[in-house]
Structure formats: C-alpha cells, structure tokens
C-alpha cells in the first residue's frame, strides 16, 4: 500500500469515526473469513460499518477524529464497528450478532465522548432505544391530562350511577 492509498484510507476511517456516535473495537482472531463477511454484510444492512485497518493507521485516524483513549486496545487483529445514527439500536444489533460469533470478542468502545471497556459496551446495548424512550415520554405526558379528565368527569359519573341505582330501587319496589 503506497502513501496515497494510506492517506485515503486514513481520511475515510477518520470520517467514519467522526460520524459514528458509537464505536466498538473487537478482536476477531480465529474467525473464519466467511463469518466475518457475513458479519460485515449484516452490519451494513443495519446502517453500520465494520472495518479492518492497520493499528497504526487506526491510532492516527482516531486522533484526527478526536476519539481519544482507544490506543491501548489497538493490539493484534482488531476490527472496528461504527454505529449508525441510532447508537443504542446499533449496540443491540451488534450484541445479537456477537452471540452467533463467539470468536469475535469486544475489547473496548467509545460512546458519548467516553472510552468504555467490554462490560460497558454490553451495558449500552441493554439501554432502551430511542423509540422506547420517546414512547415512555409520550405516555408520561399523556398520563397527567388523562387523570385530570377522569377527576373532572367523576362527579357527573357518580351522579349518573346514583340515579341509576335509585331507578333500580324504585323498579324493584313496585
């Protein structure tokens, strides 16, 4: 690989790192090429990227992209997963895919400006997705007005029920 190819690869990799809200470094030694290709294609279908690059170029790209703290984990055969726009959804997809690939092991990650170890990466995948959080927020916002309407309707409902009971009592008395 000549200098221009390295420079192009470096700039592409740095661009991916700048775009992705969630980055995962994974050790893939012992994984079959067919399994890696299937893994890569599945990630691409979900709007994610899986790239393998020389560790020295990855260090330079991460420094250029402003992603600190991952240099220590760039040792050996390391693949990098870049999430799509939905970091939590991407983490969930990655967790499901890694269940089928025991030879691919998460080493570290970068999320929301912080470097994480493998356990933290797993914890990110257990967070609720954006859609789930929006649904929870909506249900919370709707609950207050619903209770207010229920309280306002209660006297009228009670009066109707009282009159119905009185009507039933008169009907049974006759």
Q: What CATH number does the domain located at 3-127 have? A: 3.30.70.1730
How far is CA 148 from each of CA 107, 135, 137, 142, rounded to the nearest angstrom? 51, 21, 18, 10
Give the CA distances from residue 104 to residues 2, 95, 126, in Å, rounded to whole numbers and listed in that order: 30, 11, 19
**Which residues have a Cβ under 8 Å from the Cβ of 109 and sit 6 or more positions away?**
22, 23, 24, 25, 115, 116, 117, 118, 120, 121, 124
Residue 72 has a pLDDT of 83
Residue 50's pLDDT is: 92
Phi/psi of residue 68, each to 5°?
Answer: -85, 165
Q: In tens digits, what is the pLDDT along the chain, a chain of 174 residues?
A: 788 888 888 888 888 888 889 999 999 888 899 999 999 999 999 899 999 988 888 888 888 888 888 888 888 888 999 998 888 888 889 988 888 888 888 999 998 888 888 888 888 888 887 788 889 899 889 888 888 888 888 888 888 888 888 888 888 887
């Amino acid at each position: 690989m000549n200098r221009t190819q390295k420079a192009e690869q470096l700039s592409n990799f740095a661009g991916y790192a700048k775009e992705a809200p969630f980055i995962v470094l994974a050790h893939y030694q012992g994984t079959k090429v067919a399994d890696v290709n299937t893994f890569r294609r599945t990630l691409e279908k979900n709007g994610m990227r899986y790239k393998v690059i020389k560790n020295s170029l990855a260090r330079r790209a991460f420094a250029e992209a402003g992603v600190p703290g991952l240099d220590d984990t760039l040792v050996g055969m390391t693949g990098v997963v870049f999430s799509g726009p939905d970091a939590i959804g991407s983490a969930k997809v990655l967790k499901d895919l890694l269940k089928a690939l025991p030879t691919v092991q998460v080493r570290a990650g970068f999320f929301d400006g912080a470097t994480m170890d493998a356990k933290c990466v797993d914890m990110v995948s257990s967070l609720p997705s954006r859609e789930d959080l929006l649904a929870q927020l909506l249900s919370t916002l709707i609950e207050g007005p619903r209770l207010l309407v229920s309280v306002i309707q209660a006297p009228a409902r009670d009066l109707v029920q009282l009159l119905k009971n009185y009507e039933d009592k008169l009907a049974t008395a006759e």
